[in-house]
Amino acid sequence: MAVSLDIAALRARRPEGIDIAATQGDGLGCHAGKDAMRAAAEAAGLSATLEQYKRDYPAGPHDQPQSMCPAFGSLRVGLRMRRTATILSGSACCVYGLTFTSHFYGARRSVGYVPFNSETLVTGKLFEDIREAVHASAKPEECDAVVVINLCVPTASGVPLRLLPKQIDGVRVIGIDVPGFGVPTHAEAKDVLAGAMLKFARTEAEQGPVQAPRGGRSERPSVALIGEMFPADPVVIGGLLEPLGLSAGPVVPTREWRELYGALDAAAVAAIHPFYTASVREFEAAGRPVVGSAPVGHDGTAEWLEAIGNVCDVPRDKIAAAQNRWLPAIRGALSAAPIRGRITLSGYEGSELLVARLLVESGAEVPYVGTACPRTPWSEPDRAWLEARGVRIRYRASLEDDLAAFEEFRPDLAIGTTPVVQKAKEAGTPALYFTNLISARPLMGAAGAGSLAKVVNAALANRPRFDAMRAFFEGVGTGHAAGIWQDVPRIKAAPKAQAPEKPVGEMA
Ligand code: SF4
């Protein structure tokens, strides 16, 4: 929207912290470039937040993997929590995309939106509008928490969510900045909100009694689990922990506020997905030991049971008994469902290394794993195990990295993101979309050991169909048959018109 502004007057009226420069010219958005956005945010006083993000979510080897708008991760976490209202503050086009994607993934919940224009942004009226929206949403009979998410432009302009009230009638108010120029992936944006909520809940627990878990406290000490996983996985993990005298605790990101206290109350924490740096910081501040990797496959389960047993002071013989109880079943499930073939793997869910371990233990050759997530201490056991078996791991992998691996290794099956799958299929190679077809399956314990083989082997067996289709459609849609003119079309000269015969009787 074009708005004519009296900048001098606005400057005089603006509240501290709002950066007028951020609203000049074409405004700021994905198109403005990361450096311009970052500079504007720093000028608006957000250096500390951006520095923290840099430490929590290190970029490199290159800048940022191709990924959807990172804020989707935070939005999704908020929308999946009971009694939680989520409000976006950002450009209308960003909010349109984010709400569309949320509803595409079945949010079935309203997303709050506080619109703005140049004037409300510059004068600070946007902040007042956000505060008003928060007050209107914070109804204790409906909500435990209201989440406000600053997208790129309000973050770059320094809209100060930290100045929102912390609570309204007992409803917590959580304001977070989730700019695309500060948080590299939507996976890590889940951590931004989960970490902010854990911090809030930890402070509450330190100040006095808090709500007990819905089903009461477990008799056995629990292990909180970090990472969105297949719904059966926490149940399987609970079974694996039982011979250690432990139980599976809440999964973070949680599905309701009171589960945060239960998670903080756990005896230990399992960082199943390894990129939740801010959440881990809160658990460590609460004095909870954090264990990396996950109980995947034979070796992964053996190491994980030992690591969890050790941090929870479980006697050695009990750990050995748990291993003896579960490992033969996992080995049996793996050998009953072998996978034969070369597979390249890439994704942005954070579970890529775990899936690769399962594939390797099932007998597959996995020369390459790419993950959009960074290298962290909690995936180090998986990195060491995979690299010892010749797997090349690329953290913060870009699409170019994944495609180059596909060209180099010519796999029998490519598991990856949408463009990787598209490229593989074009080349006549069976391919599976990681997010929908692989990460939406059980991976843990014996249940996980056999679950991948079915879908992977079915895809591998599709190769002859791809060959037949390629042969049938050979040349269609490429080169001269692409439907695109290869050259400027030449107009043929029309044949010369014949002189009409002289009509009978006409005068010469
Ligand atoms: S909020 Fe998301 S879509 Fe909007 S400018 Fe930032 S990264 Fe792009």
pLDDT tens-digit map of 393-416: 999 999 999 999 999 999 999 999
Of 30-34, 62-66, 345-349, 444-448, the least confident = 62-66
Q: Which atom of ligand 1 lies nearest, measured to the CA of 178?
A: 1
Q: Which atom of ligand 1 lies nearest, measured to the CA of 180?
A: 7
Ligand 1 pocket test, pick from 30, 53, 63, 102 with the greatest ligand atom count within 8 Å of Cβ, gives 30
For residue 100, how far is its CA from the centre of ligand 1 (angstroms)?
14
Cα–Cα distance for residue pair 304/454, rounded to 1 Å:
25
Look at residue 7 in the predicted model and tell me its pLDDT: 43
The answer as to whether 82 is a domain residue is yes
Look at residue 278 in the predicted model and tell me its pLDDT: 97
Look at residue 47 in the predicted model and tell me its pLDDT: 82
For residue 181, how far is its CA from the centre of ligand 1 (angstroms)?
9
Q: Which atom of ligand 1 lies nearest, measured to the CA of 151?
A: 1
The answer as to whether 380 is a domain residue is yes
For residue 277, how far is its CA from the centre of ligand 1 (angstroms)?
22
Mean pLDDT along residues 367-381 = 96
Of the candidates 292, 307, 332, which is a domain's last residue? 332
Of 76-90, 207-221, 259-273, 293-307, the least confident = 207-221
Look at residue 2 in the predicted model and tell me its pLDDT: 33
For residues 380 and 295, membership in a common domain is answered with: no
Of the candidates 278, 300, 332, which is a domain's last residue? 332
For residues 53 and 94, membership in a common domain is answered with: yes
Contact present, 179 and 34 (Cβ < 8 Å): no
Question: Please, what's the b/e burial string for 320-350 (b: 16 or more CB within 10 A of its CB; e: otherwise)?
Answer: eebbeebbeebbebbeebebebbbbbbbbbb
The answer as to whether 33 is a domain residue is yes
Find the domain containing 47 and state its range: 13-184
The answer as to whether 150 is a domain residue is yes
Q: Which residues pair with 416 in a beta bridge?
A: 433
Is the pLDDT confidence value at 280 over 50? Answer: yes
412-467 residue pLDDT tens? 999 999 999 999 998 999 999 998 888 888 999 999 988 899 899 999 998 888 88
Q: Report the pocket of ligand 1 as residue ranges, CB < 6 Å.
A: 29-30, 69, 71, 90-91, 94, 97, 151-152, 180
Which comes out higher in pLDDT, residue 50 or 147?
147
Using DSSP's 3-state secondary structure scheme, residue 114 falls into strand
Residue-averaged pLDDT of the chain: 88
Give the number of residues written for the chain.
508
Is the pLDDT confidence value at 237 over 50? Answer: yes
Look at residue 478 in the predicted model and tell me its pLDDT: 76
Of 9-18, 86-95, 182-191, the least confident = 9-18
Q: How far is CA 153 from CA 66, 284, 308, 409, in A?
A: 20, 33, 43, 42
The answer as to whether 208 is a domain residue is no
Look at residue 20 in the predicted model and tell me its pLDDT: 53
Beta strand extents in 66-183 (DSSP E only)? 84-89, 112-114, 145-150, 167-168, 171-177
Q: Which atom of ligand 1 lies nearest, measured to the CA of 97?
A: 3
Contact present, 486 and 480 (Cβ < 8 Å): yes
For residue 103, how far is its CA from the centre of ligand 1 (angstroms)?
18
pLDDT band at residue 293, thresholds of 50, 70 and 90? very high
For residues 82 and 164, membership in a common domain is answered with: yes
The answer as to whether 502 is a domain residue is no
For residues 318 and 363, membership in a common domain is answered with: no
Ligand 1 pocket test, pick from 38, 91, 114, 186 with the greatest ligand atom count within 8 Å of Cβ, gives 91
For residues 180 and 34, membership in a common domain is answered with: yes
For residue 29, how far is its CA from the centre of ligand 1 (angstroms)?
6
For residue 99, how far is its CA from the centre of ligand 1 (angstroms)?
13
The answer as to whether 274 is a domain residue is yes
Cα–Cα distance for residue pair 210/324, rounded to 1 Å:
39
133-161 residue pLDDT tens? 999 999 999 999 999 999 999 998 889 99
For residues 318 and 373, membership in a common domain is answered with: no
The residue among 342, 273, 272, 264 whose CA lies nearest residue 307 is 272
The answer as to whether 506 is a domain residue is no
Look at residue 232 in the predicted model and tell me its pLDDT: 93
Using DSSP's 3-state secondary structure scheme, residue 132 falls into helix
Nearest protein CA to atom 8 of ligand 1, as residue = 30
Q: How far is CA 112 from CA 147, 182, 351, in A?
A: 10, 23, 31
For residues 273 and 325, membership in a common domain is answered with: yes
Q: Structural domain tally of the chain?
A: 3
Look at residue 31 in the predicted model and tell me its pLDDT: 57
Nearest protein CA to atom 2 of ligand 1, as residue = 69
For residues 295, 298, 300, 303, the Cα torsion angle rounded to the nearest 10 degrees is: 100
Cα–Cα distance for residue pair 116/134, rounded to 1 Å:
15
Look at residue 499 in the predicted model and tell me its pLDDT: 59
Q: Which atom of ligand 1 lies nearest, measured to the CA of 179?
A: 6
For residues 361 and 446, membership in a common domain is answered with: yes
The CATH number of the domain holding residue 349 is 3.40.50.1980
Of the candidates 313, 332, 351, which is a domain's last residue? 332
Cα–Cα distance for residue pair 271/484, rounded to 1 Å:
50
pLDDT band at residue 502, thresholds of 50, 70 and 90? low
For residues 239 and 372, membership in a common domain is answered with: no
Identity of the amino acid at 178: V
Mean pLDDT along residues 362-371 = 97
pLDDT band at residue 46, thresholds of 50, 70 and 90? confident
Look at residue 462 in the predicted model and tell me its pLDDT: 87
For residue 251, how far is its CA from the centre of ligand 1 (angstroms)?
28
For residues 426 and 439, membership in a common domain is answered with: yes
For residue 421, how far is its CA from the centre of ligand 1 (angstroms)?
25
pLDDT band at residue 88, thresholds of 50, 70 and 90? very high
Look at residue 484 in the predicted model and tell me its pLDDT: 76
Ligand 1 pocket test, pick from 53, 68, 69, 153 with the greatest ligand atom count within 8 Å of Cβ, gives 69
Q: Which atom of ligand 1 lies nearest, measured to the CA of 31?
A: 5
Is the pLDDT confidence value at 364 over 70? Answer: yes
For residue 115, how far is its CA from the centre of ligand 1 (angstroms)?
15
Look at residue 67 in the predicted model and tell me its pLDDT: 72
For residues 347 and 323, membership in a common domain is answered with: no
Mean pLDDT along residues 361-374 = 96
Look at residue 6 in the predicted model and tell me its pLDDT: 46
Percent of the chain with pLDDT over 70: 89
For residues 147 and 242, membership in a common domain is answered with: no
Question: Please, what's the b/e burial string for 207-234 (b: 16 or more CB within 10 A of its CB; e: otherwise)?
Answer: eeebeebeeeebebbbbbbbbbbbebbb
